[in-house]
Amino acid sequence: DPFADDPMRHPDLITRTLKPRNAETPEQALSAQFITPNELFYVRNHMWVPKLTADEAEAHVLTVELPDGTTKEYTLRDLKTKFAEKKITAVLQCSGNRRSHMSRGSDRATNGLQWEAGAISNATWEGVLLADILADAGFDAATVRDGTSEAQHVQFSGMEAYGSSIPIKKAVDPQGDVLLAYGMNGKPLPRDHGYPLRSIVPGHVAARSVKWLSHVTLSDEESPSQWQRKDYKCFGPNQTKVDWEKAPAIQEMPVQSAITGVKLGEWTAQDQSAPSGSDGPAKEVALNGYAYSGGGRSVIRVDVSLDDGKTWSQANLLPDQESKYDGKSWSWKRWTFNGAVPLEAFKTPEDGGAGHETDEDKNTIRRGTARRPANETTQNTKSNRRCTNVAIKATDEVYNTQPESHAATWNFRGNLATAWHRVQVCTDC
């Protein structure tokens, strides 16, 4: 059993598969703090977890290979003692984050782990800049700027066989902040997150942040691995013939957001300033969640709709210390919203409403976007239960925003599920 030596995991992580271990951060922990605690950071492993003692870790060798085939070796000790340490607070998000929303929201299955909104986390990473190591190994970054570089890609290989690559431009960009990290939130990297060394590629899909890193290879080609060439790409919703070679590998992430908490409160007389303009009774609702965009683009606004997308208000972006690195923003933003859903927004399915709950408590919500078919009958006909969808979407600093429907961006691998996050809320009217 290659997984026999896998580490112990926190029981609150939501396990999707055990061997290899894939587990998401629970919703509450996504919004409870700006920095995700190490033990609740989501885990995405394609294989087993390499095991090194502390001594083996210090002696762990990173081999850097230049385009002419020459190599230079660095032990972890070398990296820690001979180069300036840099700390970067950055999100990692799997390309499959919210995949289950895409499957349910488009009524079309997708291949892959059916993540909810927890295949994303935020941490402060300690390490050395990849650009410093490449310079020390003898690579001249000026050749990238003047277009004479032989190397177009930096390939990363992990000890267990996983590999992927990033464009050389990102690797040598002084504002790229690509790290070779040995620390996570002030502690050595946990085994699940790459002990003793991993790459951290801020703003890019987490598949490029290679754990248990042992080789860095400069090449005119992308990593030959299946995870670079035959995975982590998107195709059109109705494209039947896919040409893996033609589609670019996902690198920078698009804008994303999710609702991680919903609480219904009392019935109140509605605030006159509500966008619906209604002054009838309304149900208090408190929402929270995260928003993030790739490429260092910061989220500038999160919009909330309490009536399934007809009218919108703005959420509060929390004053979390936003680490801006030369104008780049690698972290998520947390947001909160307090509002009231007007009575008339709650609909029964017969009204063409958002669905009909029969078997849950008053203040619970049903996750995702799945709607029951209109012709579905319900056992509990006495219920006055009415439902509506609350929805959110984020906009980043270049005014990219999230698409309305998953159907529009559906792809069979279920990558980059970034449609509005809709959550059904129900109450007895």
List interacting residues with ligand MTE (CB under 6 A).
41-46, 92, 94, 158, 160, 162, 192-193, 206-207, 209-212
Instruction: Give the Cα-Cα-Cα angle 161, 220, 297 (nearest 5 degrees).
Output: 80
Distance of CA 61 to the CA centre of its chain: 30
162 binds, among ligand MTE, Mo ion, none (CB under 5 to 8 A by kind): ligand MTE
CA torsion 202-204-208-212 (nearest 10°) is 30
Residue with tokens 């007809």: 310
Distance of closest approach, residue 96 Cβ to Mo ion, in angstroms:
6
The distance of closest approach from Cβ of residue 37 to ligand MTE in the complex, given in angstroms and rounded to an integer, is 13
Q: Which is nearer to ligand MTE, 162 or 335 (CB)?
A: 162
Nearest partner of 200 among 49, 86, 321, 96, judged by Cα: 86
Residue 38 interacting entry, from ligand MTE, Mo ion, none, C-beta within 5 to 8 Å by type = none
Instruction: Name the closest residue to ligand MTE (Cβ).
Output: 158
For tokens 């995870």, the residue is: 227
Report what 250 binds from Mo ion, ligand MTE, none; CB cut-off 5-8 Å by kind.
Answer: none
Q: Report what 317 binds from Mo ion, ligand MTE, none; CB cut-off 5-8 Å by kind.
A: none
**What is the Cα gyration radius of the chain?**
23
With CB under 5 to 8 Å by kind, the binding choice for 158 among Mo ion, ligand MTE, none is ligand MTE
Closest contact distance (angstroms) between CB of 93 and Mo ion is 8
* Least distance to Mo ion, CB of residue 94, Å: 3
Of residues 207 and 419, the one with the C-beta less far from ligand MTE: 207
Partner in contact with 184, chosen from Mo ion, ligand MTE, none, beta carbon below 5 to 8 Å by kind: none
CB of 272 to Mo ion, least distance (A): 46
Q: Give the shortest CB-162-to-ligand MTE separation in angstroms.
A: 3
Structure tokens at 9: 């995991």
Tokens of 380: 């509990």
Distance CA 293, CA 256 (A): 6
281 touches 344 (CB < 8 A): no
CA angle 104, 118, 393 (to 5 degrees): 65
CA distances from 119 to 55, 109, 189 (A): 32, 19, 18
CA distance 350 to 104: 21
Select the residue whose beta carbon is closest to Mo ion and give its number: 94
Nearest distance from C-beta of residue 180 to ligand MTE, angstroms: 13
Given the rule CB under 5 A, which residues bind Mo ion?
A: 44, 94, 207
Q: What letter represents residue 283's amino acid?
A: K
Contact of residue 102 among ligand MTE, Mo ion, none (CB under 5-8 Å per partner type): none
